[in-house]
Each structure stands twice: as structure tokens, then as C-alpha cells.
Chain A
Amino acid sequence: MGQITLKAVRKSFGEVHVIPGVDLEIADGEFVVFVGPSGCGKSTLLRLIAGLEDTSAGQIMIDGKDATALPPARRGLAMVFQSYALYPHMTVRKNIAFPLKMAGLSEAEQAKKVDAAAAVLNLTAYLDRRPGQLSGGQRQRVAIGRAIVREPSAFLFDEPLSNLDAALRVTMRQEISELHQTLKTTMIYVTHDQVEAMTMADKIVVLNAGRIEQVGSPLDLYRAPDNLFVAGFIGSPKMNFIEGAEAARHKAHTIGIRPEHIGVGSGNWEGTVLLSEHLGSDSFIKVDVDGIGIINVRAGGELGIHHGNRIRLAPDADKIHRFDQAGKAIR
């Protein structure tokens, strides 16, 4: 079980209202990603769920029971920290066994569970080392191992991959996703990286300034963003926003078009290429379109377009997002 419900949860540090009020429903077995720019309150929200911070108001329900006032240890949740927070003076084995030891399990039971977790995470060869002798990815796995031995009702991940290099991040991302498939336990994952959010989540919660901007599956958010913030945050490269006459022509204050939804070659937009990045599989082209402004385009690879060329662009009419004065989507 791992069903978590937040009801009007608020958090203030003195006069600063970090989270002005959040309602959220997390179903059992879901992989939920909190995503948002730094300082948006996503880590605070996670720490509120973990019990490491007290809520200023509102209610946190875990599996139908009110957990608002419970200490972290009694909420049945496990957390993986950004710095991994391994105990440096203990071996890997003792690190993973620590929550079991605190729970008062016998030595034999501890050893059995640690060995099982180590087998799942490929840590068996490193059980007698100390965290200082491990690589970043291995430390990450030890931190996950320490979380899974407790068999928690939900896992909380606080930007766990931000200290790893790019290649390792991709591998660990897949490993965590596979772990979720195997364990089928609720996971709440905090990140500022929208790629991690898009690739891992069943459900993305986009946060901005402590407020939930939109909740939905990755493709929902990609296809139908509720507002300008979500439209700009989800998707890479970023959506182009156009105001003025071109937007008015679509009866909107602002229109948005994703770089991958603009065709190159023909069409009624014409402009000068400012920059063209060839990645092989794709080309990112920055074009100064006459009367509209700068538009980023994602085109196919091996395209012979260079700085200074005049090209024509054709935005896909079906994929234009319209927003009103307040930044809300017009549907």
C-alpha cells in the first residue's frame, strides 16, 4: 500500500509562504514526479510528506490514515537524498542494515534482507567496502538499497541523480524505472530536469512558486499544457511563444508552437538563420522570422542550412497552442 493524499497542505517559514496550499492525490503504485524550477518548493513538499518538516496547515494522509503529526520513522516511507546521506564510517552492509537494526530485527534476518537487496542492486561485491571507496553510481545504489530493505509503502527521491555525470544519469534513470516495475511501490521523485520527469513519470506534478500548475501524464502535459508556465517548462527544446499580430490572427494573446512542430522548406513564415546546430540525428535552427521574432526549430538531421541563409517555415496549424492574457490555455 502506498496511497498518499495531501489536503490543503501549507508551509510557511516565518513570513515566507513557501507552499501556499497544495491538494494532491497519489495512487498506490504510481510513479509521481514533482518537477519545477529551483526554489519552487518541490523539495519542501517532499520533506513535508517525509515528515522532516512540519506542515503549517493542512493534512497529509498515508493509506487513509492521518500522518500529519507522525514522526518520519512511523510514516513507513523511505527516502533517497540528493547527497545520498550514507553513513561514512559504516560498511555498505551496515549502511543497508541500519534501518533493520533500528527496527530491532535479528542479525540473521538482517543479513538475509541485505543480501537480497544487494543482489537486486548488483552490490554483493561491495558489501564490505565503505561509502568513500565507491563510485557515485554505486553510492546511489547503496542509498536505494537502504531504502528498499525497509519495504516502505512509498519511496521518496530528492533529486537523486543530480550529482552524477550525464551518461550515468541515463543508466540510473533506467535502473530506477526498472526498480519501480519490479517493486510496484509508490515512488515520489523530485527533479528540476524535465527530461527525467518525462521519461520516468506515470504522473507529473508541475510546481511553480509553491503552487501546482498542472498534474497529468507526461504526454498530457506535452499535448495540452494548461498554461504558459507548463508549456514552457515541459518539452526540450523549449516551446516558442509569439505575441502581437501573429497571435491576434489566432484570436489569442500568446500562441505557442513547439520547435518540432515547424516544417522547414516551404510555408508562409520567412526568416534569416541566426544559428544552426547539427547534432546528426537532429538540427536545432534559430531563425529570425520577419515580423514575428526569433523562432527555434527542430528539423531533421543532415540538413544543409547555415548561418545567414533565408529559409521558409511552416508551423503545423493543429499543434499551435493558444493562451489568453492571463497565460491560461484557450481550448
Chain B
Amino acid sequence: MSTKSSRLAARLMLSPSVVLLLIWMIVPLVLTLWFSFRRYNLMYPDRQGFNDFGNYTRFVMSSDFGLAVLNTLILVGAVLVITVVLGILIALLIERPMWGQGVVRILVISPFFIMPPVAALIWKNMFFNPTNGLFGEAAKYLGLPPFDFLGQAPLASIILIVSWQWLPFATLILLTALQSLSGEELEAAEMDGAPPVSRFFYIILPHLARSITVVVLIQTIFLLGVFGEILVTTQGGPGSASTTLPYLIFKEISLDKDVGTAAAGGVVAVILANIVAIFLMRAVGKNLDA
């Protein structure tokens, strides 16, 4: 219950933080928009002034743009599928009572505590490296030629690393959802003659729908910006085979020192992220309604 004066007080109390957040958000956005319409290259400080949509056309027309967008979508989509499917399976597995459950659960979520570049470096040097890596050793032991993961399948390797990092998050969310499923509901289904597979598809999966939606939405936000893993492993290569949109923007500013085009790329990335978000909300957003 709130009176008119208490509502007014609440707004007054809230306003400083709201205003601060607004500035926090608006200033970088406006600055990026401003740079994106200007000639701003660190190597040619004398070239200044507006160049209309020149930065945008240069970014979008660049030979790597289409591939970068495609790579980004493949990365996000593949990681989502892998983490949700494996996350459900692992959650089902570790939800069952067993000896050492607490330790197993901590081990399962531990990859989430490792910072992305460190995780990527571990994978690059300890697993993927054809001469020193464990996968190479395993291949040699089996008498197979070692496979150069980062050279032959750069995007798939990055997908593997990122999936490994995000699997704990999906597992954790889905595990808690699984634990909130009433046992009587499953027993009722059992009495109703539903075999385990039917129980999964008719009872468990619908119960998990909302959590899967949360996992998909949150992960999409973060996966669209995956960058550190690419920088320390393939650096977008070989060629542009593993260049994503964020990495393309990074190339603009680090190689070409072109702040204007990079800013335009940032705006393009924001627009694309919003398009993805609209499609996602269309597809799975209805699960969030109570």
C-alpha cells in the first residue's frame, strides 16, 4: 500500500541512482555515435570533420564483415545448443542423490570461476597444441597424426572453449529448476504409465522451459561479445576464419588505428544484437510469462 506522498518520496529517493545510471549509459553511447560519423584515425590526426556514413559503409563493405557476422551467429548458436543440451543432461545426472554429491557439484561449476583468457590459454597450450598438447599425445598414442585444432578448425575450437566455460552456468540454473520440480508430479506421471523418456519430454522439459529461456537470453548477451578467447588463441585467424564482429571492431582500432570506423562497427554490432534479441524474444520470450 502506498500513499501519494510515499510514492513521490520513493521517486525522489530513486532519482539520483536512476539519473546516474542514465548518464552512465548515455554518455558512451552518444560518444560512440559521435565518433562513428567523424573522420578519426590515429595515424592521420590532420584528417578531421564529418564524413556522413563513410565509416559505416567502409565497415559494412569490408571483405570480412559478412564472414564476421556469420561467425558470430555460428558461435552464439552452437554454444547455446551445446550448453543447454549438455547442461540438461548433466543437471539430470548430478541431481540424483549419490556419494560425494557436494564435491561433484563444485567441480562441475568450477570452470565458471576461471577467467576467459586463462581458460583459453589452458586449452590452447595444454590440450590443442599438436606437439605438446594432451589431445596430440592421445592421437600419437592411438597411432593417429596429431590434429592442429586451432589451425584446421579454429571456430569449432573456440566454440569448444566457450562452451566449456558456459556449461557450468547453464547446468547450475537448470539444476536449481530441476530441484524445484515436485516429486509427486513425476510419480503421478509414473502412475499414469509414462516411461522415463515420456516423463522427460512431457513433464521435466516443460518445467525447465522458463529456465532454459533465462539461460538462452543471458548467454546470448555475453556470447555476442566473446573476445578474449579469440585474442589469445587464433587472433581471428587463420585468415579471417575465426573473426567475429567484436574481433573485427578490435582489428579496426588496433591494426588500422581507425577510431571512427571502429565506432561505426560498434553501432552496427549494437543494432545486430538488438535484431538477435528481437528474434529471441519472439521465439522463447513467451516462456517468461507466468
**Which residues of A approach B to under 8 Å, CB–CB?**
50, 52, 71-73, 77-79, 81-83, 85-90, 98-99, 102-103, 146, 150
Nearest to A77 among chain B residues (CB) is B191
**Which residues of B approach A to under 8 Å, CB–CB?**
182, 184-185, 187-195, 198, 202-203, 206-207, 209
Q: Which of B182, B206, B209 is in CB contact (< 8 Å) with A85?
A: B182
Q: Which of B187, B192, B206 is in CB contact (< 8 Å) with A150?
A: B192
Q: B44 to chain A: closest CB distance in Å?
A: 61
Contacts A83-B184, A89-B207 known; 8 new A-B pairs at CB < 8 A = A52-B191, A72-B191, A73-B194, A73-B195, A78-B191, A79-B187, A87-B188, A102-B192
* Complex A-B, nearest 3 residue pairs according to Cβ-Cβ distance, in ascending order: A85-B188, A99-B192, A73-B193
| Residues of chain B contacted by A72 (CB below 8 angstroms) | 187, 190-191
Can you give 5 A-B contacts (C-beta < 8 A)?
A: A52-B187, A52-B190, A85-B182, A86-B188, A87-B202
Q: How far is the CA of A52 from the CA of B186 in the complex (A)?
A: 11
Q: Which of A52, A71, A73, A87 is in CB contact (< 8 Å) with B185?
A: A87
In the complex where A73-B193, A98-B202, A102-B192 touch, is A85 in contact with B187 (Cβ < 8 A)? yes
Q: Which of A73, A82, A86, A150 is in CB contact (< 8 Å) with B190?
A: A73
In the complex where A83-B182, A87-B202 touch, is A102 in contact with B193 (Cβ < 8 A)? yes
| Residues of chain B contacted by A150 (CB below 8 angstroms) | 192-193
In the complex where A72-B190, A72-B191 touch, is A102 in contact with B182 (Cβ < 8 A)? no
Q: Which of B184, B185, B187, B198 is in CB contact (< 8 Å) with A102?
A: B198
Q: B212 to chain A: closest CB distance in Å?
A: 13
Is A81 touching B184 in the complex (CB atoms < 8 A)?
yes
Nearest to A83 among chain B residues (CB) is B184
| Residues of chain A contacted by B195 (CB below 8 angstroms) | 73
Nearest to B205 among chain A residues (CB) is A89
| Residues of chain A contacted by B192 (CB below 8 angstroms) | 73, 98-99, 102, 146, 150
Q: A281 to chain B: closest CB distance in Å?
A: 39
Q: How far is the CA of A81 from the CA of B192 in the complex (A)?
A: 12
Is B206 touching A89 in the complex (CB atoms < 8 A)?
yes
Q: How far is the CA of A52 from the CA of B185 in the complex (A)?
A: 12
Is A98 touching B189 in the complex (CB atoms < 8 A)?
yes
Is A82 touching B184 in the complex (CB atoms < 8 A)?
yes
| Residues of chain B contacted by A146 (CB below 8 angstroms) | 188, 192
| Residues of chain A contacted by B209 (CB below 8 angstroms) | 89
Q: Which of A50, A83, A88, A103 is in CB contact (< 8 Å) with B193?
A: A103
Q: B78 to chain A: closest CB distance in Å?
A: 28
| Residues of chain A contacted by B206 (CB below 8 angstroms) | 87, 89-90
Q: A13 to chain B: closest CB distance in Å?
A: 13
| Residues of chain B contacted by A77 (CB below 8 angstroms) | 191
| Residues of chain B contacted by A79 (CB below 8 angstroms) | 187-188, 191
Nearest to B192 among chain A residues (CB) is A99
| Residues of chain B contacted by A73 (CB below 8 angstroms) | 190-195
Q: How far is the CA of A86 from the CA of B191 in the complex (A)?
A: 12
Q: How far is the CA of A150 from the CA of B188 in the complex (A)?
A: 13
Q: How far is the CA of A73 from the CA of B187 in the complex (A)?
A: 10
Is B184 touching A98 in the complex (CB atoms < 8 A)?
no
Nearest to A81 among chain B residues (CB) is B184
Q: Taking each of B184, B192, B195, B203, which has the highest tally of chain A beta carbons within 10 Å of its own beta carbon?
A: B192
Q: A96 to chain B: closest CB distance in Å?
A: 10
| Residues of chain B contacted by A89 (CB below 8 angstroms) | 206-207, 209
